[in-house]
Chains A and B, each alone.
Chain A
Amino acid sequence: MKLRSGKATRSTHHAAGGVRRVLGATAAVALAGSVLAACGDGGGAGDYGVAVGEAPPELTMVVRNDVDTFDPMLTAAENGATQMYEAIYDTLVRRDLSTGEYTSGMADSWDVSIDRIDFQLKADLTCSDGTPLQPSDIAASIERLADPDTGSVYTGRVFGAGGVSEIVADDEADTLSVEVNDPHSDLLDGMRSAFIVCPAGLADTEALATEPQGSGPYRLVESNRGTSYTLERWDSPAVEDLTDLPERITMRVVTADATRANLFETGQADLVSVVGRDARRLEESGGTPIRGEAAQSDALVFNQRPGFAAEDENVRRAIAHALDSEAYTNAASFGVGEPIDTAYTPNLDCYDADNGALKPQFDMDAARAALEDAGYGPGGETLRLRLVGYDNQNSGPDYVADTLRQLGIEVEVRNGTLAQAAGIIYGESEPWDIFVFPLISAAPNPYPLVTKMSSNLGEGGSYNFGRVRNDEYDDLTSRAPGATGDERCELWSAAEASLLERVDLVPLMWSIASYYGDGLEFEAEYRTVDLRSIRTTGE
Chain B
Amino acid sequence: MKWRMFLRARLARLAYVLTAITVLTFLMVHLAPGDPARLVAGMDADDNAVEVARQNLGLDRSLPAQFVSYVGGLFRGDLGTSFATRQPVTAEIAQKIGPTMELALIGMVLILLVGIPLGLLGAVSTRKGGRTFEVLFSSGTGAMAAIPQYLVATFLAFLFAVTWQIFPVAGAGAISAAILPAVAIAVRPAAAIARLVRVRTLEVLETPYVRTARSKRLPAWKLYGWHVFPNAITTMLAMGGVLFASLIGGAVIVEQVFARPGLGTALVNGVLLGDYPVVQGIVLLLGFSVVLVNALVDILLGVVDPRTMEAGR
Contacts and interface: CB of A to CB of B under 8 A. Distances in A.
Interface of A: 5-7, 65-66, 68-69, 74-77, 148-153, 155-157, 206, 209-210, 224-227, 252-256, 258-259, 262-263, 265-266, 268, 391, 416-424, 426-427, 430, 438, 441-442, 448, 451, 457-458, 460-463
B38 interface: yes
B232 interface: no
Given A7-B165, A65-B269, A226-B95, 8 more contacts: A210-B86, A225-B85, A259-B258, A262-B170, A416-B33, A419-B273, A438-B43, A458-B47
Contact of B44 (A153, A227, A421): A153
Given A259-B169, A423-B35, A451 B46 contact: yes
Contacts of A416: 33-34
A153 B157 contact: no
Interface in B243-281: 256-259, 261, 265-266, 268-269, 271-274
Nearest to A451: B46
A463 B47 contact: yes
B260 to A, nearest CB: 9
Nearest to B50: A461
B160 to A, nearest CB: 11
B15 to A, nearest CB: 33
B63 interface: no
Interface stretch (B51-59, B104-112, B184-192, B220-228): B51-59
Nearest to A68: B84
A206 B47 contact: no
B33 A420 contact: yes
Contacts of A5: 165
A264 to B, nearest CB: 9
12 contacts: A74-B40, A75-B42, A151-B45, A156-B46, A210-B85, A226-B265, A226-B266, A254-B170, A255-B269, A426-B50, A462-B44, A463-B46
Nearest to B87: A210
B240 interface: no
B80 to A, nearest CB: 15
A253 B56 CA distance: 26
A430 to B, nearest CB: 6
A268 B174 CA distance: 15
Nearest to A391: B272
A68 B85 contact: yes
Interface string B64-88: 0000000000000000000011110
A422 B40 CA distance: 11
A230 B46 CA distance: 33
B49 A153 contact: yes
B96 to A, nearest CB: 7
Report the 10 A-B pairs with minimum CB-CB distance, sorted nearest first: A151-B52, A419-B274, A209-B86, A461-B47, A153-B42, A423-B35, A420-B34, A419-B34, A423-B34, A76-B42
B85 A209 contact: yes
Interface residues of B, number: 52
Contacts of B274: 417, 419-420, 423
A77 B44 contact: yes
Contact of B38 (A69, A259, A426): A426
A442 to B, nearest CB: 8
B272 to A, nearest CB: 5
Given A259-B170, A262-B161, A419 B39 contact: yes
A15 to B, nearest CB: 30
A268 B168 CA distance: 8
A495 B51 CA distance: 29
A224 B261 contact: yes
A427 B15 CA distance: 37
B261 A150 contact: no
B162 interface: yes
B215 interface: no
A226 B43 contact: no
A153 B45 CA distance: 4
B70 to A, nearest CB: 19
Given A226-B265, A266-B169, A419 B38 contact: yes
A371 to B, nearest CB: 29
A252 B168 CA distance: 14
A331 to B, nearest CB: 21
B86 A419 contact: no
Contacts of A69: 84-86
B34 A417 contact: yes
A421 B273 CA distance: 11
Contacts of B47: 458, 460-463
A400 to B, nearest CB: 19
A457 B46 CA distance: 10
B159 to A, nearest CB: 12
Contacts of A253: 259
Contacts of B289: none
Contacts of B51: 151, 461
